[in-house]
Structure 1
Amino acid sequence: MSTQITTELVPIQGALAQVAFRRSARARKISLRIDPAQGGVVITLPMRASRRAGLALLQTHEAWVAERLASLPSALPFLPGAAVPVRGVPHEICPVPAGRGGAWIEAQRILVTGQPEFLGRRVADCLKRLARQELTAQAAAKAKLAGLSPKCVRIKDTRTRWGSCAPDGTLAFCWRLICAPDFVQDYVVGHEVAHLRHMNHGRHFWALTDELTPHRTAASAWLERNGPALLRIG
């Protein structure tokens, strides 16, 4: 099913905010949400709904939207000198203009070669590559413990969920999880691996999750507090 997105700046309580109108064939009603990654608003419209109707919903909830936007953590762009967390530990971005090899992690630094205009993409590629390696290995290890086998593991740039399990056994994780502490990654991976056996959140699912990871309570609390900041990285 198709999805069409248009973006514009809309005044919200005296300040301009980025609003994305997402027209989706799946949508049955107009909805809005805050997009922490972009620091804006997403209004989802059914195919026949008008932009005006979306703006009316935004106006109805204008105070709530303004409050949520104001409370978002500051963005953490990939710039020279920025301290980007990797496994929860700050790593300084250090340009190496004359070097070769893209970007890699060394002694709590992210070393980036090449011209300045390539720095952001190369840092993102480095973190995504690390996320793919480590989250795939963690998922394989936990699946083996449970006598399960994922079809494959994918790394995505998701904005509303940290992980997912498709009916065909495909696991997917947000690449920004590599920025979170190890115990948070451990819980999210264990949660999704448990879905390979139980595609629900019933008691058997939670029992298996707790067998696969001891960090459910602590990791859930950490994500509640720090998840929005993770989405502002990059």
Structure 2
Amino acid sequence: MTLHFLPGEPEIAVHLRRNARARRISLRVSRLDGKVTLTLPNRLPENEGLAFARQKESWIRKQLAERPEQVCVTVGDSLPFQGDLLDIVASAAVRVCVQGEQLCVPHGMAEVGPKVERFLKAEARARLKEAADHYAGALGVDYTKLTLRDTRSRWGSCTSERGLMFSWRLIMAPAEVLRYVAAHEVAHLVEMNHSPAFWSVVDQIYGPHQMERNWLKQHGEKLHRFRF
């Protein structure tokens, strides 16, 4: 991958990469980190690809401008937790905790972001395990392990080895959204597909879920704007 720049205010860094399977030029602007990637077929001259990027400059700038503002988490910021927006405050608490509408961190705590992240991961694991155990019990099935990751493209997954994976950022979504994702992945322990039979299992253990799916489509991306 090579780096090029489109002139302007500000200039735009464009990461150019080759893909032997690509049949045409593609241009992508990441909504998470703003990275601009220009993908070219192996035989296409580089100058043609860069000319294409220059033609799409206004589109690129529009995508960058519409990207959710990044938030570096620290005292004074607000952070969603189980769907509620909490103010991060310094307090006499001995550890990070939730008190009413506040997320309290000890006075003088260094590295606020990493410590808040660890708190969120612990809360996510506890709630996701509780939900997964509940839905697995309802189906009479078992899973082998539960892991947390900071995934960008999916909120959860189920492996052929019966392992469940979830994004720990679900702890920032409303509680019912977290539980829906847990039910969705547990249902894959019975149906490893998205067939009508699979959705029937989700309906059986969770119930109506369109609102939760819509919430993730409309608001899920915003959970990735918080940096710790």
TM bucket (normalised to shorter chain) is 0.7 to 0.9
Distance in 2 of aligned mates of 1:231 and 1:183: 19
2:32 is matched with: 37
Deviation by residue 1:59-86 (Cα, 9 ceiling, x = unmatched): 5654443322222222232121211110
Shift of 1:105: 2.2
Q: 1:209 to 1:34 in 2, by over 3 A?
A: farther
User: RMSD across aligned C-alpha pairs, in angstroms?
Assistant: 3.4
CA distance in 1, matches of 2:112, 2:49: 37
1:122 corresponds to which of 92, 115, 138: 115
2:86 alignment counterpart: 91
Residue number among 182, 196, 213 corresponding to 1:220 in the alignment: 213
Report the secondary structure of 1:148's partner residue.
Answer: coil
Q: Normalized against structure 2, the TM-score is what? A: 0.80
Write the deviation string for residues 166-214 of structure 1: whole angstroms up to 9, x where unpaired. Answer: 2211111111111111121122111111112222111111111122223
**2:127 maps to what in 1?**
134
Question: Is this contact kept in 2: 1:73–1:229, CA < 8 A?
Answer: yes
**1:145 is matched with which residue?**
138
Which residue of the partner structure matches residue 152 of structure 2?
Answer: 159
SS in 2 for 1:172: strand
Give the letter aligned to residue 41 of structure 1.
Answer: K
Structure 2: runs of 5+ lacking an equivalent: none
* Aligned-partner SS, 2:166: strand
Name 1:233's counterpart in structure 2.
Answer: 226
Q: Distance in 2 between matches of 1:31 and 1:165?
A: 30
Q: Give the deviation of 1:17 after TM superposition.
A: 4.7
User: Is this contact kept in 2: 1:43–1:54, CA < 8 A?
Assistant: no
Q: Is the 8 A contact 1:12 1:62 kept in 2?
A: no
Q: Find the counterpart in structure 1 of residue 72 from structure 2.
A: 77
Q: Is the Cα–Cα contact under 8 Å of residues 87 and 182 in structure 1 kept in the other structure?
A: yes
2:213 maps to amino acid: S
TM-score (normalizing by structure 1): 0.79
Q: Is the 8 A contact 1:32 1:42 kept in 2?
A: yes
Distance 1:109 1:61 in 2: 44
Deviation (angstroms), 1:218: 0.4
Contact persistence 2:14–2:38 (CA under 8 A): no
Shift of 1:154: 0.9
- Secondary structure in structure 2 of the residue aligned to 1:164: strand
Change (3 A) 1:64 1:187: farther
> Relative to 1, partners in 2 of residues 1:85 and 1:202: Cα closer, same or farther, differing over 3 Å?
same
CA distance 1:63–1:212, change in 2 (3 Å): farther
- Most deviating of 103-112 and 13-22: 13-22
Letter in structure 1 aligned against 2:156: G
Structure (1 or 2) with the larger CA radius of gyration: 2
Offset, 1:216:
2.1
Deviation digits for residues 78-98 of structure 1, max 9, x if unmatched?
A: 1212111101101111124x7
Q: Give the whole-Å Cα distance in 1 for the aligned partners of 2:223 and 2:68.
A: 9
Q: Aligned residue for 1:190?
A: 183
Q: Is 202-211 or 13-22 further displaced after alignment?
A: 13-22
Report the Cα distance in structure 2 between the residues aligned to 1:229 and 1:190, rounded to whole angstroms: 22
Q: Is the contact made by 1:152 and 1:170 (CA closer than 8 Å) also made in structure 2?
A: yes
1:130 aligned partner, one-letter code: E
Count of equivalent residues = 223
